[in-house]
Amino acid sequence: MANAEMMKQIAEKNGFIAALDQSGGSTPGALRLYGVADSAYSGEAEMFAAMHAMRVRIMTAPAFAGAKVLAAILFERTMDGEAEGQAVPTFLWKTRGVVPFLKVDKGLEEARDGVRMMKPMPGLPALLDRAVARAIFGTKMRSVIDLASPSGVAAIVAQQFDVALDIAARGLVPIIEPEISIKSPEKARAEALLRDAILARLEAWPSTVRVMLKLTIPDAPDFYAPLIAHAKVARVVALSGGYTRADACRRLAANHGMIASFSRALVESLRESMSDREFDAALAKAIDEIFQASTVKVASAAA
């Protein structure tokens, strides 16, 4: 059963979720954005070591704490690593007051029927057992919708909820992330299909189990209000999806009850070459801006 104190923080407290879960193919790009060139490391082990050093620098910064950062989504290697001599999930919750989540998907299939489904996860049961042993609160898994295909969207939602049932059975809280590409020429239509498909699946979802949703910020403000208000949904969070932090925050501020779960928009101003003072100040500024957009909403705004 999910930790009650963590659930209260996730469901009720003001703040946002930091997505620190870049993995595999997205890691080199994240390191380049941070100012670490491909030539700075050799092989996968050194690459992930550089990525872990960046994440630890973020997690140990003074501003990265539960007062504004409710939770952090971790990559599997980050979950297995340490920060200040402690297992990362323990450090986050016990030292920083930040709830730990784990990314569990293994990437995306090739595009078909306007969507990119999650790859098979044969190792998921063992990974969930490890997550429970490390006091992880919940999980996150991502798939992508490129076009407004009714059958494609239905398949994405069915896959997400089917896997979420297995995750919830382990006592973990699943974050379902059917991302709609911000480059989609049919984004608004896809949003309508997605909202209706999720609402239909929620009707059949066990009443004793709550899920979370991580969604692309909609074109129409408050479009996902029925999902935010749903009794079986603990929280609806927004991905930045390639928007700059300024644009993502502006769009998010128009969506009441929706909080951020940003990745690139959180770290876009951070550089490896910064002094600790410069780094901490840049991260604090980013956290303040994202917290503001997550908690202070505008009456109306054009997205």
Determine which one of 177, 179, 191, 289 is catalytic: 177
All domains in the chain, ordered by first residue: 23-295 (3.20.20.70)
Q: Two tokens at 88?
A: 């990362």
pLDDT of residue 301: 45
What pTM was computed for the model?
0.95
pLDDT of residue 303: 45
Backbone angles phi, psi at 126, to 5 degrees: -65, -40
pLDDT of residue 299: 78
CA torsion sign, 263 to 269 to 275 to 277?
negative
Determine which one of 68, 103, 214, 297 is catalytic: 214
What is the SS3 assignment for 6?
A: helix
pLDDT of residue 10: 97
8 catalytically annotated: no
Give the pairing type, strands 86-87 and 82-83: antiparallel
Q: Which residues of the chain have pLDDT under 50?
A: 301-303
177 catalytically annotated: yes
What is the SS3 assignment for 292?
A: helix
